[in-house]
Structure 1
Amino acid sequence: MTYRHYLQKTDRNHIIIDWEDKVTNDSGEASVKPIYPEFKTGEDENGNEWYRSDDIVVEGEDGNQYSAKYKRGIVDWEATWEKYERDSYDGIATGEGDSPFRIYYQKTQATQGIDIVYNGRTLKTGLIEKVWDRPTHNQFNDFVGEIIISDEAFETVNNKVDINDNSILWLELKENLNQEEWYEPIKYGRTEKEAGIKQRLRRKLEAQMATENVRAEKGFDGVDVDLLQEFEEDYEYIYEVKRSNANPIDVYQCVMYWDAYSRTDDSNLSKVILVARSIGDNAASMVDRWNNRQDEYGDEYNIEFQPLSEYDLD
């Protein structure tokens, strides 16, 4: 991780490690290969991309403008670990783990945050407090990014191992990062509430072909539903949204939605969809059992489970 920018800066940059096995007396050399994280795609509850990139412009004492690139996002851990699995990774893996990548980004407070890259060299890694004057927190464990500085007008300390915290350009850059909410560390995971997931799902449903309307429906027969999707062909879906795993009680909730909404005069209900991270065996069996039954009007129940990943909401 530390050398990835150095290695890509020019084709002439290489790092070679000479090695010798003291047991077998084998020896050789290995080329260090840069490792990059895979980032989560899709949008947050406000419709913002999870992965973001901005050029931040600051003004120096000489009146000239200088820029730094700020890249950040939420790490897709499964995709990254799979990419760098020991058995499939085209390189030498160190350490005892299945993936050499885990040495650097471990989804912890110690490895969360921003790296400072200066002229192709990574000076510092995993920064939160240095940039935002706020403590690390578990809600940022998935947040990783880089401030990439290519202009030597940004000063470093004398031994070139860190940015100069007191330099005018760094202070201006830091002020920008602290003043704009868009630049703040991105929270992810358990901090997102069901209301946010419902909002994102609603936007995705509204974008589907043949959808006429999506709304939160309240008060029919004393029951409120998360989302009601109306289609141009005069049929409707109800969505029950859970941020974690679906349990049997959630299936009963879907049955209650079906029964209550079917009693309304203008009901064209075709399906109730339970959206959650996953579903347990008991809840899945319950869905099957209810789908083999009929409601009070002689119509078969139609309840379906769909994972959050189906809508890129996981």
Structure 2
Amino acid sequence: MDNNSNNITLHIFPDTGAMWEGLGGNFDNFTEILNEFIDNAISNLLNVENPIKNILVSVEQSVDCSTEYRITIEDTGSGIQNLESAFTIGNKSGQESPLNEHGYGMKHALAAANKANDSWKIYSKKQEDSFYSLVAAPYSLKNQQVKRISKNLPGQICNTHGTIISFNISFEWLKTITKGLRGNYTKLSKFMNILQEDLGYTYGPFFSESGITLTLRYKDNESNRTQTLNVEEVKPSEVRTLNPGSGTTTYDLSRGPISIDYRFLQIKKSEKYEKHYLANMSTSGVEIRINGRLLADNIFSDIWGIDRHNSYNYLLIKINLKSTDLKRLPKTTTNKTSLKQDDPCLDKLYSWIRSKMPTPKKEVSLADDEIDLFSELEKQKKSSYKTIDPSALITTEQNTFYTLGEKIRIDLYQSVLNKIVIYEGKKEETHPKDVYQLLMYWDGLVYDGVPVAEGILIAAKHPNSVRKIVALKNNSKDDNGNMYKITLETWKDENIDYPE
């Protein structure tokens, strides 16, 4: 530090190890890391004249460690044009397309995958060179070493020119590919199938529009055979288009006009996929792409300000924003896993979506089961009774048989003006056993010292067998000596529009 008069100068030299550790802390799963390298490969291939535009991702168990896997990403592009800018954090001078937005991608993805900063290697050869360049761990802020080797690239698909990036990852990182999915995944083949789906979801339009191919290759440890998977666009199972339909328009998000491709869809659960377009609360809503690349999905409450519900699972709005001018597009986070929430372009985009669909229609008929219908019924009843009885209790979380140490949940419990009504229900049709399920709730509450005034059995319809059993039971008494009162209702009796 220099001290001259009242001014001082701080000489700041970042610690490489600490910087590397902090740089790699921006990812939640391995697919996000891999996307950074694929972004760079696609960006380069979009700007190269080579008619063969291939990307290969290889995964193989490490020879030295059974809990590590060697990842290799190859492309047949034109190679890294300026290694110094490519390895400088935040340098954007090598930007080839909107996919190279921040100047962080390759570095922070390497830091996330190879935290020890000891296993990564990058081979690159330009079309005009007679040698390839090799840059290998560890990363250095000041004096990164580069070897020049007069040979063809040691790649499986690229040897005359292109780029190869390889590194080791832990099995724990590999498992994050299936994060959020049900089941215990242990086989490499399963991870690769999900990865294939992830990449087809993120980059799908590129494969159909640019001529770029993306292939996964892995060595199955069980069969000891090499397997190959071709990545293709992941598409939803469309039922129909919704108003305003689909099309392309020009719109200014506040920094200049861009093109917006849009599709407003009703979808159903896809039988082809395990992770995407399942028509559930995790895979419906609004997805936003920039020039085809997925940037955000499953957006709902941020746009309409209403809570998510299974009755909206049918809705998928696909938005693709197109422009070669990055300044006109919404800003992304540095790891490109979402859009910047403080960007006014995003608010204007949400307003544009609302102008096309002011409020999504709640399709109760698309509810997964009676749980969803009871959730809607609970909401309606709370709204109806809040002025009549501010202390009213209406819930789908009430249990019975407490005094026996049991917790049996009642489908819907309603206590309004000290009158207790309980519900048992089915989405479509009731059966005789449902009558006895409702009676069990009733008897449990009586056993707990809670008197019941009425039990309601609700469904789309009730067969004659159920009606006869209800009539029989309504002639008998509970343990308090009070007559059972079981009423049969339909969802429409309770103002639930099911079935339509």
Provide TM-score, normalisation by structure 1. Answer: 0.47
Larger radius of gyration between Structure 1 and Structure 2? 2
Provide TM-score, normalisation by structure 2. Answer: 0.31
